[in-house]
Structure 1
């Protein structure tokens, strides 16, 4: 019988580079593409690869992630599938929070219920990609690897902040450097001209293999490699194993985006509005799963849209949209213009009683009011933007802040449940 494969999805740290999107939620719980959450991507990749024993390790701002997973992923009792949440916990052996990716897995090894010859697939919870893990696992078994690391060939100018590796022709890893900053070190890890020539790049460009943060471990090797005080896979565990066990690379050729910053999150969402998006939500063989909400179809009372995504339960009235992602239950009123906007929507509809209360509280209704002009912005869930509001990050310094509006990485953000009064100009 083939060895069992258990999947472990990392819930991420504090997510400071995604703040303020992570001020009340962890990174995997951040809304994506109008109706999904980031964590839906790795879970869906697992399920589409026939892997249904999945653990999600969580620690910071976990309530919304837990609720989403519990409401989205329910399995029958006969298939043996599950998506279980493992939160940081105090035990007789220790009372510390997860100190890093390796420490988080170490603290939960006793929950995995796997034998030494089983496999553990470790995944990140904040990346956008579609991968057939069957191919990675098959290569891992065929090459008799102890650890297989998924890698993406990227230009040497694009790999700042990523772990890099150098491999032989058989994909065995000969060198691994975690997040190098020295251009000479990066250049020394570049792929050979023969390999580079097989990539769809411009002539003369140099490529290097970047660590995607996806690891397939033999359980015995994983257990032994964590029998120490190492806290991080990329910084400590993998370099320590180099030369001691069979480390192999698995080259992934599809689209992959690490959603680590506000800018990368913003651009990844807007790229989905392209005529041919880099990530395909419409592939019948690679569906992306999420919570079933039973929303009404969106109601359009006049809309000039050039490129965009419109989720369910929205009410749009006489607006102009250009490159927008509009999330569930969004309300946008007449005369409003969006250009390069990601609007996350709302968790519930407002009724007449709510709108009367809003008048008493002198606050706008949930959504966007009349005659507004908003560009290069993210509007987080539950935001209330009044009439005649103009919002743009143009000319604003990074970390500019005014009320519930923040500018970060060149993107303007209206925070979750934020209020922007009538007539505001930023």
Structure 2
């Protein structure tokens, strides 16, 4: 109650830095021409939309997006989709590149990125600063983490996801006492230290942090002097030895409108092509692990004024269609088709992600394939059935996922019916 009163009176302000400079090398070729946060997800989103949605829905609307690697696609998306308010100076999503100087031209790491942007804090004078990553698929009411931070009189809070011990070697692991105060860190350990109250699980760092603003400034100035550049590896482990640093248990976070069938505490780091593909499977079905439709916690993205999807004829089983997609007498199973995809007669698509402005030719067959934007699959083509042949043209993961890179830019796949391409019988 007291926390809510403080926020209503204008004190206790929270501003956010979102770390959106990720190169995403393990997502190539999807990140050959764009940064990781700009990679499309689902039928209408980008990966960055999830963290921005969580912040905005949590009433944190002073947001700086720190960019670096091939940011143009992300910048265009933010410009079109994330105009929060033109009426209030403290409601914005603003892109911030590295502050180029004689000494440096790029961010040296996550903490160095915020250090270069400390002047932005002076403009808003926040009480707390959220430093969140932009690379994950999840829902989170950040207000609950803020409440935890204040109730524990914390200097820093780190969002922590309970994971089975057998999976702990994939994460940075946090050691805590029974009060959740952090006592140590383990970087992808073979034998992780379990949670105090659960010997089967360990706390994994989600890369989302809350700082008392005054401490953040002092800590980053000290880190700069010592040549430290990263929060997770340098700054927070050092501060945990001298300050009150706590782990916020993400599994306790309750987002309104979450369905009973959804996976509790759903969070995915889509850092590889195979995990990116698996996360798409999680949004399919009548009772998905992660249901993107939640009117009480809407996921915001780009506004689109075009026509709706249209199925003239076909067999569709467990399929999500983006706006203005056209399916004409085709068979599609367990797949996601984004905006303005055209599927011609006789095509067969199974376990695929088809991105915007792609045209699938008559009789083409696709299985376990991701096709990036602006591609034309020729009539009768087969992709995903002969990996030896596929590797000569495309990227094939160890899991057998075929990824077709970005095609030549073209925004008229839906209009080719008028240009002689045709899709009707």
Fold conserved (TM > 0.5)?
Answer: yes
Where 1:21 maps in the other structure, the secondary structure is coil
Q: Give the TM-score taking structure 2 as reference length.
A: 0.86
The 10-residue stretch of structure 1 (298-307 or 376-385) with the greater mean CA deviation from structure 2: 298-307
Q: CA deviation at 1:4?
A: 1.4
The question of whether the paired residues in 1 share the 8 Å contact of 2:22 and 2:37 is answered with no
The one of 292, 298, 302 aligned to 2:313? 302
Where 2:116 maps in the other structure, the secondary structure is helix
The 10-residue stretch of structure 1 (280-289 or 141-150) with the greater mean CA deviation from structure 2: 280-289
Aligned partner of 1:224 in structure 2 is 218
Are residues 122 and 409 of structure 1, via their aligned partners in 2, closer, same or farther at CA, if it must alter by over 3 Å?
farther
The question of whether the paired residues in 1 share the 8 Å contact of 2:90 and 2:124 is answered with no
Aligned partner of 1:83 in structure 2 is 93
Q: Please identify runs of 4+ aligned residues in structure 1 that moved more than 3 A.
A: 114-117, 393-397
Task: Tell whether 2:324 aligns with 1:313.
Answer: yes
Task: Tell whether 2:268 aligns with 1:265.
Answer: no
The question of whether the paired residues in 1 share the 8 Å contact of 2:335 and 2:350 is answered with yes
The question of whether the paired residues in 2 share the 8 Å contact of 1:52 and 1:83 is answered with yes
For residues 98-147 of structure 1, give each alpha carbon's deviation from its aligned partner in whole angstroms, at most 9, with x where no partner exists: 11111111111112336777111011111000000000001101111010
Task: Tell whether 2:301 aligns with 1:290.
Answer: yes
Counterparts of 2:194 and 2:386, CA distance in 1? 37
Aligned partner of 1:191 in structure 2 is 195
Task: Tell whether 2:92 aligns with 1:103.
Answer: no
Give aligned pairs, total: 381
Q: CA deviation at 1:401?
A: 3.5
The one of 380, 394, 407 aligned to 2:396? 407
Aligned partner of 2:366 in structure 1 is 374
Where 1:302 maps in the other structure, the secondary structure is strand
Q: Give the TM-score taking structure 1 as reference length.
A: 0.85
Counterparts of 2:321 and 2:124, CA distance in 1? 46
For residues 227-249 of structure 1, give each alpha carbon's deviation from its aligned partner in whole angstroms, at most 9, with x where no partner exists: 22211111111111122100101
Q: CA deviation at 1:223?
A: 1.5
Are residues 116 and 345 of structure 1, via their aligned partners in 2, closer, same or farther at CA, if it must alter by over 3 Å?
closer
The one of 249, 252, 261 aligned to 1:251? 249
Counterparts of 1:129 and 1:161, CA distance in 2? 18
Where 2:285 maps in the other structure, the secondary structure is coil
Q: CA deviation at 1:23?
A: 0.3
Aligned partner of 2:207 in structure 1 is 213
Aligned partner of 2:407 in structure 1 is 417
Task: Tell whether 2:333 aligns with 1:322.
Answer: yes
Where 2:207 maps in the other structure, the secondary structure is strand
Q: CA deviation at 1:12?
A: 3.0
Counterparts of 1:381 and 1:326, CA distance in 2? 11
Q: CA deviation at 1:11?
A: 0.8
The question of whether the paired residues in 2 share the 8 Å contact of 1:4 and 1:114 is answered with no
Task: Tell whether 2:392 aligns with 1:392.
Answer: no
Aligned partner of 2:259 in structure 1 is none
Counterparts of 1:344 and 1:173, CA distance in 2? 42
Please give the root-mean-square deviation of Cα atoms over the aligned residues, in Å: 1.9
Gap regions ≥5 residues in structure 2: 1-5, 252-264, 410-425
For residues 70-109 of structure 1, give each alpha carbon's deviation from its aligned partner in whole angstroms, at most 9, with x where no partner exists: 11112131373000110113136x3330111111111111
The question of whether the paired residues in 1 share the 8 Å contact of 2:160 and 2:205 is answered with yes
For residues 341-389 of structure 1, give each alpha carbon's deviation from its aligned partner in whole angstroms, at most 9, with x where no partner exists: 001122xxxxxxxxxxxxxxxxxxx511011111111010111110111
